[in-house]
Amino acid sequence: MQKELKNKRKNKIIRARRTRVKVAQSGLLRLTVYRSLKHLYLQIIDDSKGITICSASDGELKDVKGKKPVEIAFVLGELIAKKADEKKVNKVVFDRGSYQYHGKVKAIADGARKQGLKF
């Protein structure tokens, strides 16, 4: 049991690192996704300066009762794109971490693209 958990964590770190290396080579700002069991968190990070430009989470959203998680993720993607536009950020690289590009992660990207954020 312990060995299986260690391997899962190790593989997750390897997947995230593989994604992050590709993102870092681009030299652009990155839009990172973190999924906890209950919430979604997004950040736009400038790696050259080591600062967070803007962030958003589903806790900021008001009327999400009764919506499906994928719909909430889409609205969250739109929110981060609006915040990025206020900070004059129009092009980023999507850093999905170790998460697969489907479901909520894909909905975030689609919502951000709809508001004009370019990947």
- Quote the pLDDT of residue 23: 80
**pTM for this prediction:** 0.86
Q: How many structural domains does the chain have? A: 1
Q: Is the model's pLDDT at 103 over the cut of 90?
A: yes
For the stretch 22-79, pLDDT in tens is: 787 788 899 999 999 999 999 999 988 889 999 999 999 988 888 999 999 999 999 9
- Quote the pLDDT of residue 1: 61
E strand or H helix at 3: helix 2-26
Give whole-number Cα distances, 119 to 14, 39, 52, 89, in Å. 23, 23, 18, 11
| Domain span at 75 | 2-114
Query: Are the C-beta atoms of residues 99 and 20 closer than 8 Å to each other?
Result: no
119, part of any domain: no
CATH number of the CATH domain containing 104? 3.30.420.100
